[in-house]
């Protein structure tokens, strides 16, 4: 987004048009003739499209007059307000730097807990947009247009640094670790240690948690964050003054509401998981399935012990109990029956199907069972505690 494009979007008549069509069908609106032939109509359509998404994803920015949203492809990668608020609650201090500012959502909320903040952004258009938006949102911020490494070479030390490294497009397919991201956090670790006391790294949920902890060396906490039913990100909090053993690092899984508040939380240490001795049983009255962030976080034996709930089997990561566990971080189903993985006698034509420690794929098993998606049933194809591979038939509550 160049300066001329930004200037045009700030025109009162353009802003009025955007707000007047705030809830319009963008595809239909794009087919109409623009009110002014000189307008960059594609850019204006993109603003309307992004604003519609921001109404849910970035509510505070949506409600602020004068904000120009980044292009949809940039906004798609940005944190939600809920996730950004959660991050902000993890840190406080005097000075803060965001090395990969992007749309500035994380930086905006984190900067509220600091006296001064510097936002580093290597893309010129994004940097120009940040200058405009932060002049409205956060007067304690300054924008640095340039590369994170170049910035670090001459920067003074600060209390806290945030970084959201992006996977390089040319990295080998199927290989994903921090060294294949840009900036390469692993190679920058010593420089970062020299520049800050604490570092927060945001990564994709795809990254292996234990592998990342080992590579980063100074991790003290891990936060696996879920919003609106999806595992959105994994956060690694590093304290360069503290080196903790892998066993003592706290792994937190949280589910957030739209305001960034914690709805559900589960925490454990690797040391807890090593010694946990859960109970195992055949399906009882209720079946419990952890939500995505809680699946990603691991600690399945610790969860069983903490919640006093039985595991279906060692590797299925499903739980069961004769009563509802009110604070269970996931979905709860009513147990109906156990069936063999055969269409004969199943008696169900529609159901949601999930495989847990069971051979094959969902697609192939659905075809074999002659069922389609939908209906009131949930079927778990899994291995039971007696080693039998069966179908657990449940009803959605």
Q: Are residues 237 and 280 in the same domain?
A: no
Q: Are residues 172 and 280 in the same domain?
A: no
Contact status, residue 287 vs residue 394, Cβ threshold 8 Å: yes
Decide which of 254, 270, 286 is a domain's last residue: 270
Q: Are residues 249 and 386 in the same domain?
A: no
Q: Is 68 within a domain? A: no
Rounded CA separation 110/96 (Å) = 8
Q: Is 72 within a domain? A: no
Question: How far lies 397's CA from each of 318, 335, 377, in Å?
Answer: 16, 10, 10
Contact status, residue 183 vs residue 99, Cβ threshold 8 Å: yes
Three-class DSSP labels, 75-124: HHHCCCHHHHHHHHCCCCCCEEEECCCCCCHHHHHHHCCCCEEEEEECCH
Q: Is 116 within a domain? A: yes
Chunk the chain into consecutive blocks of 10 residues (it has 397) and report each block's average pLDDT, rounded to whole numbers.
Answer: 78 92 94 92 95 93 91 92 97 97 96 97 94 94 96 96 80 62 90 97 93 94 98 97 92 97 97 96 98 97 97 96 95 97 92 95 95 95 96 94
Q: Is 294 within a domain? A: yes
Dihedral sign for Cα atoms in the order 310, 278, 267, 77: negative
Q: Is 207 within a domain? A: yes
As beta bridge partners, residue 143 has: 119
Domain count, the chain: 3
Q: Are residues 192 and 216 in the same domain?
A: yes
Rounded CA separation 40/9 (Å) = 9
Dihedral sign for Cα atoms in the order 351, 352, 357, 360: positive
Q: Are residues 226 and 342 in the same domain?
A: no
Rounded CA separation 159/115 (Å) = 11
Q: Is 129 exposed, middle or buried (0-12, 13-18, 19+ CB in 10 A)?
A: buried
pLDDT value, residue 175: 47
CB-based contacts of 19, cutoff 8 Å, min separation 6: none
Q: Is 73 within a domain? A: no
Q: Are residues 245 and 295 in the same domain?
A: no
pLDDT by residue (tens digit) across 146-202?
Answer: 999 999 999 999 999 999 998 655 545 444 578 878 888 999 999 999 999 999 999
Q: Based on C-alpha coordinates, what's the Rg of the chain?
A: 24
Decide which of 222, 238, 270 is a domain's last residue: 270
Q: Are residues 255 and 115 in the same domain?
A: yes
For residue 93, what is the domain's CATH number?
3.40.50.150
Q: Are residues 28 and 126 in the same domain?
A: no
Q: Are residues 107 and 217 in the same domain?
A: yes
pLDDT value, residue 176: 59
Q: Are residues 259 and 380 in the same domain?
A: no
Q: Is 65 within a domain? A: no
pLDDT by residue (tens digit) across 243-260?
Answer: 899 999 999 999 999 999
Q: Is 210 within a domain? A: yes
Nearest to 58 by CA among 122, 133, 160: 133
Nearest to 138 by CA among 117, 159, 124: 117
Q: Domain range spanning residue 373?
A: 276-396
Contact status, residue 161 vs residue 96, Cβ threshold 8 Å: yes
């Amino acid at each position: 987004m160049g300066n001329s494009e930004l200037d045009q979007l700030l025109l009162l008549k353009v802003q009025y048009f955007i707000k007047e069509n705030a809830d319009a069908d963008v595809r239909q609106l794009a087919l109409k003739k623009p009110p002014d032939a000189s307008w960059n109509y594609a850019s204006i359509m993109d603003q309307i499209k992004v604003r519609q998404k921001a109404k849910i994803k970035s509510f505070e920015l949506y409600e602020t007059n004068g904000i120009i949203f980044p292009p949809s492809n940039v906004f798609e990668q940005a944190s939600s307000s809920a996730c950004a608020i959660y991050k902000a609650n993890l840190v406080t201090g005097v000075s803060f730097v965001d090395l990969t500012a992007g749309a500035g959502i994380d930086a905006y909320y984190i900067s509220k807990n600091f006296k001064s903040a510097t936002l580093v952004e290597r893309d010129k258009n994004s940097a120009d947009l940040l200058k405009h938006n932060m002049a409205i949102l956060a007067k304690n911020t300054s924008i640095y247009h340039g590369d994170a490494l170049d910035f670090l070479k001459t920067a003074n030390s600060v209390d806290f640094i945030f970084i959201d490294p992006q996977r390089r497009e040319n990295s080998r397919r199927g290989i994903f670790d921090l060294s294949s991201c840009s900036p390469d956090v692993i190679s920058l670790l010593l420089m970062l240690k020299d520049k800050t006391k604490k570092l927060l790294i945001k990564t994709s949920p795809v990254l292996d948690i234990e592998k990342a902890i080992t590579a980063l060396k100074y991790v003290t906490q891990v936060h696996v964050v879920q919003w609106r039913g999806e595992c959105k990100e994994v956060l690694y909090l590093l304290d360069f003054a503290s080196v903790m053993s892998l066993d003592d690092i706290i792994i937190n899984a949280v589910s957030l509401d739209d305001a960034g508040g914690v709805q559900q939380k589960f925490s454990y240490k690797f040391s807890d998981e090593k010694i946990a001795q859960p109970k195992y049983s055949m399906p009882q009255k209720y079946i419990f399935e952890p939500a995505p962030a809680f699946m990603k976080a691991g600690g399945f034996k610790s969860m069983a012990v903490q919640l006093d709930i039985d595991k279906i089997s060692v590797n299925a990561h499903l739980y069961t109990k004769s009563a509802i566990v009110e604070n269970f971080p996931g979905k709860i189903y009513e147990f109906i029956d156990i069936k063999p993985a055969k269409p004969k006698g199943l008696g169900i034509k529609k159901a949601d199907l999930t495989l847990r420690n069971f051979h094959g794929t969902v697609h192939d098993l659905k075809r074999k069972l002659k069922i389609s998606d939908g209906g009131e049933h949930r079927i778990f194809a899994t291995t039971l505690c007696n080693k039998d591979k069966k179908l657990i038939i449940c009803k959605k509550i």
